[in-house]
């Protein structure tokens, strides 16, 4: 800051005039301790300005209703879309002895990367890793730390003369005699309170020995230490704080923690070369930079191996662990679309994903592919008419596998491949050697004249159950999207082997169907709704719910999606790599092969040899849903609307107690994250956030500062460690949950279907199951 810089220059000048030449000293004197500045002066706040709340005395956590955000500008972020230099550019710049001029910011960035690669080719030979893990992330650490520290100071009214920010002190470890130089984020001269403010949830390893020395240094007896965190703490940090509590208590001082949850919103200056996301963007619209999901998806890598390499590079670039949580903590394999806002024409669309958190921080791969699948499926459901949303694996109907246009999309591919996967899970659920329910089912079947259990062919299919949603403020929260697995008798002619051991009358058919739906199908349905093998199916189905909502809204008033709806043109959302050459016929042939060889085999005590089974079918032509009422939504998801709004800007947590590991991340199809900054953003320094308006003075008495607490500081022998802080925005009051006014739409009627089409689907969507008696064990191998 200018004021602080002026003080530093003045001190340096005084030392230069009054001190002796360096050559006359055998040993250079240690750098004088920085006395710091009153916090109100350091952060340019009004002196004695009232805060929003008092600093708690003991341990405390911020109420969920008060969670909010703070903003800052990362100067380097405006280059998040800059690609690696060409071989010609690299050759032109690699031998330059000094960094190119500021008038050539791209050359400066390339030159900096080339130098980093020369010094450490193991870590920085990959341009994308260097750009994302070192260049951009490290540029944001200082302004983020400053922004959150200023927020804490301002929110709690730590603006009296007794509160000093960035004061340097000495802690001496009585056990080792080592003196540690420590910079305090905030120190109260009157009470002896020390604040360590962290914009993430992790203490650095370099700070820990210094803090341990404070806990034992007799000169600091009677003082107290409070750790303030913006994000959930890591396990290592929690363990260290408990260690500090014990040591401090034994030496007449106290340690407390304050979880002041606030999500960072990182802005970028204008200009540069931006990474732009096309997720949920109608064709012809420019991609959008920024959003809660965009940064994390940009940093996500395509495979676990690639992601590990990136995370290793990130840790190498940030040994002090100053960075906030990033993509490594997001399990993108669980990514689903859980919110779309009001689709106002020309104003963009808010959207929100959910994903499970990985507490180890070792996930984060696949973000681009999974978000692309969701977005493409969303547009596929809009573009095609609903009677096309089925797939069919039936040996009697090789010409009715799926609609031709649907077969050109990843959504269609996912449904057909899930159909084939369903066959395997159904066969496993039918194996009496694996499940007692299956054994019970087989023993309940009618017998033929040889005493063998009778079995008939069955159609199995996946269809939606009633989705639970909450429609309010013109948007929709997608709360639960369960899928059902059904079974129904269906005779098939083109079956290999000899599946017909019995003829069933109508009563026997119905009784067998009931037993199957009671004893077999719950296990299969559980797999469909929980197994990672069906994660893509669940992903495209939540997109189906969102798309149906957009259809309904567009019918009332034109949206940006009107030209797409029912156009039957899916050319903008084709099959993506690595499935660009996928053909529906290939999956159908795999199904026929499975029919011949079977999926499961076992010896049953009722007689006969091994039995084999095959199944299939998915029908998403219907999308029934039920609108959760206001009272229940408020009771079960009180803070979800507020957290969803936050997720449009940045990664945040779902506050529901039983979903504490669920992360929210989203964006807007028209709003960017450009938010100020005036530097060149080439890595020479971090940007300053926009000044926060100072609060209006109040008549609240503040009192005069009393005599300060003893300051045991003395010159030390090691360097400082803390990063100063500034910036931050005014916290917003919790918004009252608005009421929804859209009627529930729970219904079993297929959307957009007429009776003749529905009847055709009943036959075309047939998924088959059969069994045959094998004569020898070799057929089961």
Q: What is the pLDDT of residues 432-470, one digit of tens each?
A: 888 999 888 888 887 777 777 777 677 888 999 999 999
Helices (H) and strands (E) in the chain, counts: 21, 21
* Nearest Cα residue to 61 out of 229, 224, 185, 307: 229
Residue 503 to residues 15, 289, 394, 497, Cα–Cα distance (Å) = 105, 64, 21, 16
Question: Which residues have CB under 8 Å from 556's CB, separation 6+?
Answer: none
Domain end: 264, 292, 324, which one? 264
pLDDT of residue 449: 74
What is the domain range of residue 185?
A: 2-75+83-264
Q: How buried is 277 (Cβ within 10 angstroms: 0-12 exposed, 13-18 middle, 19+ buried)?
A: buried
pLDDT of residue 492: 63
Query: In the predicted model, is pLDDT for residue 689 greater than 70?
Result: no
Structure tokens at 113: 């990367």
Q: Is residue 669 part of a domain?
A: no
* Nearest Cα residue to 549 out of 466, 474, 482, 480: 474
Mean pLDDT of 677-686: 47
Structure tokens at 165: 């920010």
10 Å Cβ neighbour count for 94? 14
Domain end: 208, 235, 264, which one? 264
Q: Compute the CA torsion angle 184, 188, 194, 196 (nearest 10 deg).
A: -50
Cα 467 from chain centre: 23
252 and 394 share one domain: no
pLDDT of residue 439: 86
Tell me the H-state helices in 67-207. 87-93, 105-119, 121-124, 127-129, 137-155
Cα 641 from chain centre: 17
Angstrom distance (rounded) from CA 428 to CA 614 = 10
pLDDT of residue 27: 59
> Contact, 615 vs 458, CB < 8 A?
yes
Angstrom distance (rounded) from CA 514 to CA 207 = 66
10 Å Cβ neighbour count for 233? 19
Angstrom distance (rounded) from CA 179 to CA 770 = 79
Q: Is residue 732 part of a domain?
A: no
Q: Is residue 278 part of a domain?
A: no
First to last CA, the chain: 75
Q: Is residue 716 part of a domain?
A: no
Query: In the predicted model, is pLDDT for residue 171 greater than 80?
Result: yes
Mean pLDDT of 3-24: 39
395 and 255 share one domain: no
Angstrom distance (rounded) from CA 307 to CA 294 = 17
Calculate what percentage of the chain has a pLDDT beyond 70.
78
255 and 393 share one domain: no
Strand 262-267 relative to strand 254-259, pairing: unpaired
**746-766 per-position pLDDT tens digit:** 333 332 322 332 333 333 333
Query: In the predicted model, is pLDDT for residue 322 greater than 80?
Result: no
259 and 395 share one domain: no
Query: In the predicted model, is pLDDT for residue 13 greater than 50?
Result: no
Query: In the predicted model, is pLDDT for residue 518 greater than 80?
Result: yes
pLDDT of residue 738: 29
Mean pLDDT of 332-339: 96
Tell me the H-state helices in 26-124. 39-42, 87-93, 105-119, 121-124
Count how many domains the chain has.
Answer: 2
User: Please, what is the angle between helix 506-519 and helix 521-530, to 10°?
Assistant: 40
Domain end: 242, 264, 286, which one? 264
> Contact, 181 vs 69, CB < 8 A?
no
66 and 201 share one domain: yes
The size of the chain, in residues, is 781
- Model confidence band, residue 2 (pLDDT cutoffs 50, 70, 90): very low
Query: In the predicted model, is pLDDT for residue 6 greater than 50?
Result: no
């Amino acid at each position: 800051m200018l004021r602080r810089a002026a003080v530093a220059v003045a001190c340096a000048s005084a030392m230069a005039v009054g001190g002796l030449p360096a050559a006359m000293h055998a040993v250079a004197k240690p750098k004088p301790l920085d006395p710091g500045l009153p916090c109100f002066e350091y952060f340019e706040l009004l002196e004695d300005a009232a805060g929003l709340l008092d600093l708690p005395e003991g341990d405390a956590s911020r109420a969920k209703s008060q969670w909010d955000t703070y903003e800052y500008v990362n100067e380097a972020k405006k280059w998040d879309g800059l690609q690696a230099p060409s071989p010609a550019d690299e050759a032109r710049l690699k031998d330059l002895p000094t960094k190119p001029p500021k008038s050539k910011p791209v050359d400066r960035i390339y030159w900096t990367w080339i130098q980093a690669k020369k010094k450490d080719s193991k870590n920085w030979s990959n341009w994308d890793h260097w750009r994302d893990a070192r260049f951009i992330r490290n540029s944001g650490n200082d302004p983020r730390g400053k922004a959150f520290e200023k927020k804490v100071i301002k929110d709690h009214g730590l603006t009296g003369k007794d509160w000093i920010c960035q004061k340097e002190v000495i802690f001496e470890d009585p056990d080792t005699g080592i003196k540690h130089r420590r910079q305090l984020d905030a120190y109260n001269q009157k009470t002896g309170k020390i604040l360590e403010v962290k914009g993430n949830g992790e203490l650095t390893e370099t700070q820990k020995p210094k803090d341990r020395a404070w806990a034992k240094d007799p000169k600091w007896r009677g003082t107290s230490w409070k750790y303030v965190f913006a994000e959930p703490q890591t396990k290592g940090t929690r363990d260290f704080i408990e260690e500090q509590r014990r040591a401090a208590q034994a030496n007449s001082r106290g340690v407390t923690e304050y979880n002041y949850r606030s999500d960072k919103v990182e802005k970028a200056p204008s200009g540069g070369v931006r990474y732009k996301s096309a997720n949920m963007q109608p064709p012809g619209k420019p991609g959008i930079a920024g959003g809660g999901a965009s940064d994390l998806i940009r940093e996500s890598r395509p495979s676990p191996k690639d992601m590990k390499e990136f995370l290793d590079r990130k840790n190498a670039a940030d040994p002090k662990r100053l960075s906030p949580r990033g993509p490594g903590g997001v399990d993108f394999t669980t990514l689903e679309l859980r919110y779309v806002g009001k689709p106002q024409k020309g104003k963009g669309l808010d959207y929100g994903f959910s994903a499970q958190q990985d507490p180890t921080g070792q996930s984060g791969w696949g973000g681009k592919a999974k978000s692309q699948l969701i977005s493409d499926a969303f547009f596929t459901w809009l573009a095609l008419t609903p009677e096309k949303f089925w797939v069919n694996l039936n040996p009697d109907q090789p010409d009715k596998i799926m609609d031709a246009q649907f077969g050109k999309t990843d959504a269609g591919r996912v449904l057909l491949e899930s159909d084939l996967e369903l066959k395997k899970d159904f066969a496993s659920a039918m194996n009496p050697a694996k499940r007692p329910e299956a054994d019970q089912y087989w023993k309940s079947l009618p017998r033929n004249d040889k005493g063998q259990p009778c079995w008939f062919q069955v159609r199995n299919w996946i269809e939606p159950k009633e989705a639970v949603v909450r429609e309010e403020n013109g948007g929709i929260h997608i709360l639960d999207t369960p899928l059902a697995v059904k079974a129904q008798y269906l005779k098939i002619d083109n079956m290999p082997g000899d599946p017909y051991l019995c003829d069933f009358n109508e009563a026997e058919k119905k009784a067998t169907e009931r037993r199957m739906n009671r004893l077999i199908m719950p296990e299969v349905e559980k797999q469909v709704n929980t197994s990672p093998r069906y994660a893509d199916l669940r992903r495209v189905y939540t997109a189906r719910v969102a798309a149906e909502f957009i259809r309904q809204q567009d019918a009332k008033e034109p949206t940006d999606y009107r030209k797409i709806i029912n156009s039957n043109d899916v050319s903008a959302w084709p099959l993506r790599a690595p499935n660009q050459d996928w053909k529906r016929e290939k999956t159908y042939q795999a199904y026929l092969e499975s029919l011949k060889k079977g999926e499961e085999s076992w010896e049953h005590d009722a007689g006969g040899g091994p039995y084999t089974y095959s199944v299939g079918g998915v029908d998403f032509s219907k999308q029934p849903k039920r609108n959760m009422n206001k009272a229940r939504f408020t009771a079960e998801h009180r803070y979800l609307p507020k957290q969803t709004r936050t997720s449009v800007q940045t990664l945040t947590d779902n506050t529901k107690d039983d979903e504490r590991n669920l992360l929210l991340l989203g964006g807007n199809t028209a709003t960017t994250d450009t938010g100020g900054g005036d530097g060149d953003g080439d890595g020479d320094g971090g940007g300053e956030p926009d000044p926060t308006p100072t609060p209006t003075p109040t008549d609240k008495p503040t009192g005069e500062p009393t005599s300060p607490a003893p300051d045991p500081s003395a010159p030390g022998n090691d360097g400082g460690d803390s990063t100063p802080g500034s910036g931050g925005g005014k916290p917003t009051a919790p918004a009252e949950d608005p009421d929804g006014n859209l009627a529930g739409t729970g219904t079993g009627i297929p959307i957009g279907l007429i009776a003749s089409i529905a009847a055709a689907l009943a036959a075309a969507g047939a998924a088959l199951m059969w069994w045959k008696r094998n004569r020898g064990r070799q057929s089961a191998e």
